[in-house]
Structure 1
Amino acid sequence: MHLIGNSVLALLDHPARLRALRADPAELSAALTKFARHAGPALPAIRRFPPEGVEIGGVRVPAGESVLLSLASADRGPRRFDAPDTLDPGRDATGQLAFGRGTHHCRGAAPGRMRTELALAALIRRFTGLRHDAAAAGPRRRRSLRPGGLISLPAAW
Structure 2
Amino acid sequence: MTDTPHRLEQPARMSGPVLVGVVQGQRPVVVEQAAKLAAAAGLPLVCAHVDVTVYPVDGTTGGAAAPIDPDSGDADVQDIPEQLRKDLEARLSGLDVEWSAVFLAGEPAKALAREANHSGASMIVVGSRDHKLGSVIKELTGGSIARHLVHHQDRPVLVVPVDPRLPDDDDED
Q: Give the structure-1-normalised TM-score.
A: 0.32
Q: Give the structure-2-normalised TM-score.
A: 0.29
Name the structure where helix makes up a greater proportion of residues: 1
Larger radius of gyration: 2
